[in-house]
Amino acid sequence: MPRARATASRRARLLAVGAIFGLGTAVAACSDGHVVASDSQQLYLKVPSSWTVFSQKALAQDGAFGSLFTSRPIFATFASADPHARPGDAFTPSLYPWAIVVVRPLSGTEQSEMSLNGLRDVLMNIDSLQTQGSNVQPLASPALLKNGSLHGTLVAYELQGSQGGPAMAYEQETWVNSATDKVWVLMSGCSPSCFQAEGPVINRVMQSFLVLDRGVHDN
Amino acid sequence: MTTSPDRGPGSTREARWRGRARATVAAAALSAILAWLLAGCSTSVDYVGTASQGVFFKVPNTWDVFDGATLKRLGLAVAATANAQATASGTSYPVYVIMAAAGRGVIVKGSPNFFGPQPWALANVVSFGASDQAGISLVGLNDLLFPIDQWQQDGLSVQQIGNTILIVRGALRGSRVTFEAQTPSGTLGFEQVALINSPTNKAWDLAVGCSLACFQAHRRVLDSIVKSFTVTVRGT
């Protein structure tokens, strides 16, 4: 009986997840925006329809984009409002807002040492940038996020490299599973003036981010 | 008429002896089975823990379990007023502490002696303040009871025995580790299992140990205590 109940409960959850995905896609189809979704990675995001979205395949073929990562993501997608957007524009103080979604495994060391604070460093290592002399300013207090077995943080920073140069502002939402071996990250940013002007758009993109993975695989 | 050697007076004695031996073996086997059956009915362990914090473990029923008042006297449990202050200031504090030991000799001059020859088991439920919540990691759980990291930085001999075992139970995550250390207070061997919830604001941990020689001698019992550690909350 308990097993039957568990199976029924699992089915109900799967149906709910399926329904959310279906509903999300249907709503997105009727509304203004590109839907970026991955069934295998259980994530969903919507960006304005005017943005250029680069598929995972296109990004895999782009050397500039690949060079941005030290460890290869399981999933990555990049979208930008720039009419001449290139995949390598991620993490730049562009005059147009951009958004990048990355799903990647955590190494053994990262797994044992990862804290909620550490989640901010999974795409861009703020800690080492600060050590190297970059000026890093938090734009908001970090917020703790939780969804079942997934937990995470929402942070916003403005940073300027140690050599001066243009500053960049961004917001980042990061989720990690219970086993602490996988992260789902959305980062959206641009130059500080753009970040301020395009705040509502960036906010909508951030709020559309959904990670539906249950975040659990018991051992 | 010839007498068969099997039926002679000597063989009768032998047969009687064999019969007695068989009866003794049968009686011994019966006693063993009976003892085993009775052992199944009786409890050789005590359950220790609390439903309110969803934490339990089993210790041999020959062990002493120390109540809350004793633990407060030993400085292991904190008064509710202190906890309220900790909550207000955003620092971590123990929500629940329970200790059991193989004898009262674990308390020396009004303090718990974790480095002595008597094995002990200590369970903690800790509520994390904002700073610990943001900074705690799976490796950080090693420091919940003893400052392993600090000991290593101070140059003390601290050795992890075996690999860290990662534990995932639904929304709870944690680890199981074993350490041996040479400290100024004496040698110490201990095994610890710790779990943390998804919001990362509460941890449940159980440590078992004693002096190194004691730890090695009582490893089986201590291991069974660690294996019995159960956290019943969902951790979401």
Listed by start position, the domains of chain B span 5-41, 45-231
Say how many CA atoms lie within 13 Å of B58 toward its Cβ: 9
Q: How far apart are CA B173 and CA B195, in angstroms?
A: 5
Q: Model confidence over B102-142: pLDDT tens digits?
A: 999 999 988 899 999 999 999 999 999 999 999 999 999 99
Q: How far apart are CA A188 and CA A94, in angstroms?
A: 11
Calculate mean pLDDT across residues B150-170.
95
Q: How far apart are CA B191 and CA A89, in angstroms?
A: 50
From the list A115, A150, A151, the residue facing B137 with the nearest CB is A115
Q: Which residues of chain A have pLDDT under 70?
A: 1-31, 215-219
List A182's β-bridge partners, or say none: A105
B76, B112 contact by CB (below 8 A):
yes
- What six digits make up the tokens of A213? 């993975």
CB contact under 8 A, B171 and A179: no
Find, in chain A, the residue whose alpha carbon is nearest to that of B138.
Answer: A112
Question: SS3 breakdown of chain A: % helix, strand, coil, rounded to 5?
Answer: 35, 30, 35
Instruction: State which fold the B45-231 domain adopts.
Output: Protein Transport Mog1p; Chain A (3.40.1000)
Mean pLDDT for chain B overall: 86
Q: How far apart are CA B135 and CA B150, in angstroms?
A: 16
E strand residue ranges, A110-160: 135-138, 143-147, 150-160
Q: How far apart are CA A37 and CA A17, in angstroms?
A: 13
Q: Which of B131, B172, B173, B202 to mutate to test the interface with A (most CBs of A within 10 A)?
A: B173
Give the CA distances from residue B139 to residues A52, A129, A153, B161, in Å, rounded to whole numbers and listed in that order.
Answer: 42, 24, 20, 15
Give the CA distances from residue B59 to residues B98, B226, B228, B229, in Å, rounded to whole numbers and listed in that order.
Answer: 12, 9, 9, 10
- What six digits make up the tokens of B1? 């008429």
From the list B170, B175, B199, the residue facing A218 with the nearest CB is B170
Residue B7: predicted pLDDT: 46
Q: Is the pLDDT of residue B86 over 80?
A: no
Residue A92: predicted pLDDT: 92
Find, in chain B, the residue whose alpha carbon is nearest to that of A114.
Answer: B137
Residue A51 has a CB neighbour count (10 Å cut-off) of 23
Instruction: State which fold the A33-211 domain adopts.
Output: Protein Transport Mog1p; Chain A (3.40.1000)
Q: How many CB pairs under 8 A join A and B?
A: 67
Residue B34: predicted pLDDT: 59
Q: Is the pLDDT of residue B41 over 90?
A: no
Report ipTM for this prediction.
Answer: 0.79
Looking at per-residue pLDDT, the higher value among B215 and B18 belongs to B215
List A169's β-bridge partners, or say none: A158, A190
Query: Interior CA angle at B77 toward B152 and B137, to 5°?
Result: 40
Q: What percent of chain B has pLDDT over 70?
A: 82
- Give this prediction's pTM: 0.80
- What six digits make up the tokens of B13? 């004695």
E strand residue ranges, B88-149: 93-101, 107-108, 111-112, 120-127
Q: What is the DSSP-derived secondary structure letter of residue B114?
A: T
A217 contacts in B (CB within 8 Å)? Answer: 168
Residue B1: predicted pLDDT: 40
3 state DSSP class of A167: coil
- A20–chain B nearest CA distance, Å: 21
- Interface list for chain B against chain A, based on CB atoms closer than 8 Å: 133-140, 164, 166-173, 175, 198-200, 235-236
Q: What are phi and psi of B158, to 5 degrees?
A: -125, 125
B176 contacts in A (CB within 8 Å)? Answer: none
B149 contacts in A (CB within 8 Å)? Answer: none
Find, in chain B, the residue whose alpha carbon is nearest to that of A151.
Answer: B198
B168 contacts in A (CB within 8 Å)? Answer: 178-179, 216-219
From the list B135, B169, B199, the residue facing A115 with the nearest CB is B135
Q: Letter for the amino acid at A157?
A: Y
- What six digits make up the tokens of B143? 């420091």
A10 and chain B in contact, CB less than 8 A:
no
A216 contacts in B (CB within 8 Å)? Answer: 168, 170-171
Q: Model confidence over A102-137: pLDDT tens digits?
A: 999 999 999 999 999 999 999 999 989 889 999 999
Q: In A, residues 119-158, which contact B (CB 8 Å cutoff)?
A: 142, 144, 146, 148-151
A103, A177 contact by CB (below 8 A):
no
